[in-house]
Homo-oligomer: A and B are copies of this chain.
Amino acid sequence: MVSAAKTSSEASPIRLGMVGGGQGAFIGAVHRIASRIDGHYDLVAGALSSDPDRAAASAAELGLDPERSYGSFAEMAKAEAAREDGIEAVSIVTPNHVHYPAAKAFLDAGIHVICDKPLTSNLADAKKLAKLVDKTGKLFVLTHNYTGYPMIRQAREMVGKGVLGNIRLVHAEYPQDWLTEKVEDTGAKQAVWRTDPKQSGAGGSIGDIGTHAWNLASFVSGLETDSLAADLDSFVEGRPLDDNAHIMLRFKAKGKEKPAKGMVWCSQVAPGNENGLKLRIYGTKGGLEWTQADPNYLWYTPFGKPKQLITRGGAGSGPAAGRMTRVPPGHPEGYLEGFANIYSEAAMAIRAMRRKKGKVPKDVIFPTVEDGVMGMRFIEACVKSSKKNGAWVKV
């Protein structure tokens, strides 16, 4: 039941750097754990904070060589590119507006990039980045981490094999409650930048979690969104970015079938919801349901038959999920393992590129810069539609 594959690549770690993720950050620690779980990476350099003191203190805490703790990503890209033992890849875990300049600096320096989502703070930057990735031939891995959950891979495989028949409906939602009150006024770091258009871009909840929901819907269903109608709100007085979004989706047709429809809801003001990401897909032959908080389960509902609960590693779970599985069924894996799966896929790709001059194996799957561009299109379409009173807008 247990994937031995995880063990086989524990040898010869990839040299990794990090931008952002210093003391007080949340997602930086997640990236570090994710990079460690399968033993593929060594964190050896960092520009961990824009505040020099915090950067140094953070580096010391992580046991980095002080020489490789940098004051800025620009300095780091230059210095590491010049070292023989320089980093092979960098993780960018800053607020959104830094993604573009940082990614550019490392790509230009010939270093692979693993970057948090959303890709950038606006679509124009996103497009420039996509071009740059194409030009440099370097890897660009976007950490839409939920695509790393084994049962999400399982769902994608089932849809791809036609188990559900023609897809008619895709429902995704991502409710949270942590911005129910105006916590950004208390100085809470996570809330401050996420509600600030200068650091986050045009989307609030849409950019932070709505993109995750929509990306997951696209990843599993394999459908492209044609257009959407969105109704965005800032329920908390004086909050400049949306903290709730209601969205209706129309997908592009596949063959002669009626095109699928969908709904997305994301919210940061729905009390009782911690990270309630949920995906439901229905086709002519059956349905699937998955919830992030209970990620080891996938409901499969073949039409006219009893519902089945497929468990990670259990009966009915196929090869796509098996590649992402470490421990036997009934021993839950979680958020960090799902995140680690993205890092491990990236490692597979980076090693393949070393060996084979750029050819990533077919079964290695991770979100790319193109997915990031699509995410930015989604955000901008939502904002545009909402400003036009919910009119349908092409994505």
In the bound complex, residues from chain B placing their C-beta under 8 Å from that of A392 are 389-390
Does A352 reach chain B (CB closer than 8 Å)?
Answer: no
Q: Is the CB of A235 within 8 A of B269?
A: no
A23 and B3 alpha carbons, distance in the complex (Å): 11
A292 and B246 alpha carbons, distance in the complex (Å): 23
Binds B, one of A103-111, A134-142, A294-302: A294-302
Q: Is the CB of A29 within 8 A of B7?
A: yes
Looking across the interface, which residue of chain B has its beta carbon closest to that of A243? Answer: B168
Q: Is the CB of A274 within 8 A of B229?
A: no
In the bound complex, residues from chain B placing their C-beta under 8 Å from that of A299 are 272
Within 8 A of B (CB), among A289-345: 289, 292-296, 299-311, 314-316, 326-337
In the bound complex, residues from chain B placing their C-beta under 8 Å from that of A61 are 7-8, 10-11
Does A224 reach chain B (CB closer than 8 Å)?
Answer: no
Binds B, one of A35-43, A77-85, A86-94, A200-208: A35-43
In the bound complex, residues from chain B placing their C-beta under 8 Å from that of A12 are 63
Does A378 reach chain B (CB closer than 8 Å)?
Answer: no
Q: Is the CB of A315 within 8 A of B304?
A: yes
**Contact A326 B336, CB 8 Å, known A301-B271, A303-B180, A316-B305:** yes
A289 and B304 alpha carbons, distance in the complex (Å): 22
In the bound complex, residues from chain B placing their C-beta under 8 Å from that of A235 are 168, 258
Within 8 A of B (CB), among A27-72: 29-30, 32-33, 36-39, 60-63
Binds B, one of A113-121, A213-221, A278-286, A356-364: A278-286
**Contact A261 B244, CB 8 Å, known A11-B62, A331-B334:** yes
